[in-house]
Structure 1
């Protein structure tokens, strides 16, 4: 198939390269010249403008948008005047599913298809394939089957049509919330092991033991083992953890639906806590303990 990939950051460029290797013709475009240049060095056909990328496509056109959630609407504003009824836009980024539903309705009014593909796989997706959670009109999704089969780990696994417009991004949002909880559990467990100094436990050895036969074996554990092998003491890494926003959306959705999700919620709060270099709350806790019990205050 022939399509345009708009957004050539690491994920977008990797996906474009995997599609190209799979025999699809991809016209890549990114507003940043360095991104275009780096993608061209990887064998991706580059368009020098959004207009050129769209103009190169046969009708009906397929445009995969791989941009940050905050600029999707701006990208669509620039893109839609270049498209026609029957064309398809795929949003493969981490958009909020409610925004996806709104955008899907907007394109439907113009006679176009809007397909949301929640995409997981990170930097390993190029070699291993991507997990694709796809929402949108069933006919539009089926027409894109060759693209999804190429991007997935195999044609018959790792991807699927999970529901109507917004369902793909909703499913990916919950996926990321689960990911938060799993990562937090591993982090806490290894922190306890590391603190038990009397046993001198080799954390990377433990990770390797758990990778084979253990009920907690997983890709995240594989990556944990790799990280500990490269840097056993995690020297030079600041205890500061970002979040993509999807964990926040998951917690908000759990509240809206009256679903108890304490693990995901606490894992998000721990990420927020990691960013406090000078926590007022902790200072106040120390002050309160001193007031009611005369407990010692450590001077900072």
Structure 2
């Protein structure tokens, strides 16, 4: 079976339209595919497994991806996952904007595809995307120009408010939930103690746990565990690091316990995963919402 390719004609209202908005309320499981266009992916709530170019990411509120047309990606193990895709055709953009400076990987520059977007950035982005969606369904002579202007505003706004996934200093003025998610991403290879985090931030554990679950659909421990398993999957597939060392790099001091957790989440041992992912038989990455 050939690769699924999403076609321009199915998503854009005309051959001249450069930008459109594709809502996913919710985003369901979606098979691996590429596109005839590029897209920005912003996650508003819930969680899911996003596999981009064979690398798994456990995604939730605030995750931001820059997807090129040739990138292959899919969604699995979704749980109330709400996101928006802002789709665009670089060859149709007419404004004299240095798009390459604001969109990572567009022309082979900084290829970092995965970022976090601050809560303040999310609030502002929602407003721009709402306007962009309104213009993208209009058919008057100025609609495409207005949509492109709003898209330019959006990509600059995202550049201002995005940060690397484990950059805790970038969240110093952001709400607790941003700080917590970023702290978890920075704790892949070391213990994370919520009590210590709450002492540092001078907050109460219980409301934070409730807020986290409400926004992400997971407990804090589930999210951290699945971040670590995703990182382990990547290391198993793309490096020659010994399984015991991978366990340590993913926050598991006991390699036997790592194997038990990995097997429970993925349905196979780390060794089986390494073998099957490399010979192409582990195409459907499975992660349970335990």
More helix by share: 1
- Bigger Rg over Cα: 1
The structure whose residues are more often strand, as a share, is 2
The TM-score normalised by the length of structure 1 is 0.30
Q: Which has the higher contact order (CA 8 A, sep 6+)?
A: 2
Please give the TM-score of this superposition, normalised by the length of structure 2.
0.31
